Amino acid sequence: MPVHRSGTTVPLSSSWRPRRSLLAAAGALLAVLSLLLTLPGTAAADAAGADVPPRGSARLGMGVIAHDGQGGLPRDNRAVQTEGVDVSSHQGNVNWSGLWTSGVKWAYVKATEGTYYKNPYFPQQYNGSYNIGMIRGAYHFATPDTTTGAAQADYFVNNGGGWSRDGRTLPGALDIEWNPYGAACFGKTQSAMVTWIRDFLNRYKARTGRDAVIYTATSWWTQCTGNYSGFGAANPLWIARYNTTPGTLPAGWAYQTMWQYTSSGPIVGDHNKFNGALDRVVALANG
């Protein structure tokens, strides 16, 4: 109907009021959705971050099954191998006595991640494995998107990742694999990733005198470094593959030094095989 203003009749379009109502309703709906997305604890907010674990929670091989799947357990090829485990804060206080009795003779313990996280269970795990008689080492979970390789190597060495010539301490290991917090390759090009890894390895050797072990999976290494072959001559390979064999190795390595073959082993899930008898584990510890 027309609107009267100061005696003047102003005709209105018949669609004016419905359009105004629709615009108001749409605006209110957008405001509510925006609020839901920003409120902690809401279904929308939870869904947005449901698949991203908290920083510091990464561990060796956490992306292997999702990206590479899993098959059977290793076949008996009559090669002499030595059983080992790797642990992080996910295992809490570890039953080292039970592992030792079961035949586990070496262990790697997560020490650090990035330059922001130290494993709170590191003393119990690192010293406990040593005290029971195992040869032990520490590993660092790399986050190339947060700080430089050199900075992370320093953080690792300063917080448990060093090396001592005692015959029972393995060189530190660089865990470089899928990014659990974002893009698989941490937002880096293949050449930039190689540079980051090289910076870490160079700083670690300068600090400790040892060449660090590289833990990775062939599929990640191919995707994120372009299957770079330049580290095989100096850095021992720790390959991740949950199947009957280690499979194809990354370029530059003719054999693996260690193989993480399962995440569901006895007592501690992550079990590994050292490619040789116990005296070869000792040899790696001695450098």
CA distances in angstroms from 283 to 186, 203, 278, listed in the order given: 34, 23, 9
Which pair of tokens denotes residue 264?
């569901």
Q: How far apart are CA 287 and CA 12, in angstroms?
A: 90
Q: Phi and psi dihedrals of 204, rounded to 5?
A: -60, -45
Catalytic residue among 68, 154, 177, 270: 177
Rounded to the nearest 5 percent, the helix, strand and coil shares of the chain are 35, 15, 45
51 is catalytic: no
Contacts with 90 (C-beta within 8 Å, 6 or more apart), sequence order:
57, 59
Catalytic residue among 86, 113, 154, 270: 86
Contact 73, 261 (CB under 8 A): yes
Q: How far apart are CA 155 and CA 157, in angstroms?
A: 6
Which pair of tokens denotes residue 86?
């790797």
Closest CA to 261 of 251, 275, 279, 250: 275
Q: Exposed, middle or buried: residue 177 (CB in 10 Å: 0-12, 13-18, 19+)?
A: buried
Contact 83, 262 (CB under 8 A): no
Which pair of tokens denotes residue 274?
């050292």
Catalytic residue among 68, 113, 175, 270: 175
175 is catalytic: yes
Q: Position of tokens 């990464």?
A: 58
For residues 15, 18, 24 and 27, what is the CA-based torsion angle, rounded to 10 degrees?
Answer: -80
145 is catalytic: no
First to last CA, the chain: 94
User: Residue 268: which H helix or E strand, with range?
Assistant: none
The catalytic site residues sit at 86, 175, 177
